[in-house]
Amino acid sequence: MLKVAFIGDSYASYVQTGQGMNSWTYLLAKHFPQHQYYNYAHGGRGYDFYQLCLLDAKIRNIDVILINKTFSHRVSELHGDDPHSFTATAIDDNYFTLYCENIVWYTPACYTPHVDTIHLDSKKDISKGLPEVIPPSLFNSYNEVLRY
């Protein structure tokens, strides 16, 4: 039996509205029931969230990790005393969703992001707009993501 993890955004999420038992991740678990599945995916999450999921997957000794691509302008920030604590919820005997409650995240949901009334058309515009609405520490994480 293998432990399989899914890390991603709404495309891989079980908890995304309207997906649930129709999620491709859940259907895969039903098709290959001999393995255990751990789904970290949540809508709007970005690569810095993926890094936290990878750390937790390492702690859980996950054998196989499937990661879906997302938008580079999605950023997260950890808050609280236990920032790496993921809570697992059993959906079936072999399928679990995982959630970290100490994460605050920011995501524009489209290719041309916007923050409140500020429309951001390019990476340069995004860099100008972000400091006005989110803390500098989160902005620094965002700049790291933009390099890739």
Per-block average pLDDT, block size 10, for the chain (148 residues)? 93 81 92 96 82 91 92 66 78 92 57 47 50 48 40
Q: What would the DSSP string read from start to end of 2-68?
A: -EEEEE-STTT-SSSTTTGGGSHHHHHHHHSTTSEEEE---TT--HHHHHHHHHHHHHTT-SEEEE-
Q: How is residue 70 annotated by DSSP? A: -
- Residue 64: per-residue pLDDT: 96
- Residue 28: per-residue pLDDT: 94
- Residue 102: per-residue pLDDT: 66
SS3 string, 83-104, reads: CCCEEEEEEECCEEEEEECCEE
**Helices 136-146/47-59 angle, 10° precision:** 90
- Residue 11: per-residue pLDDT: 85
- Residue 78: per-residue pLDDT: 62
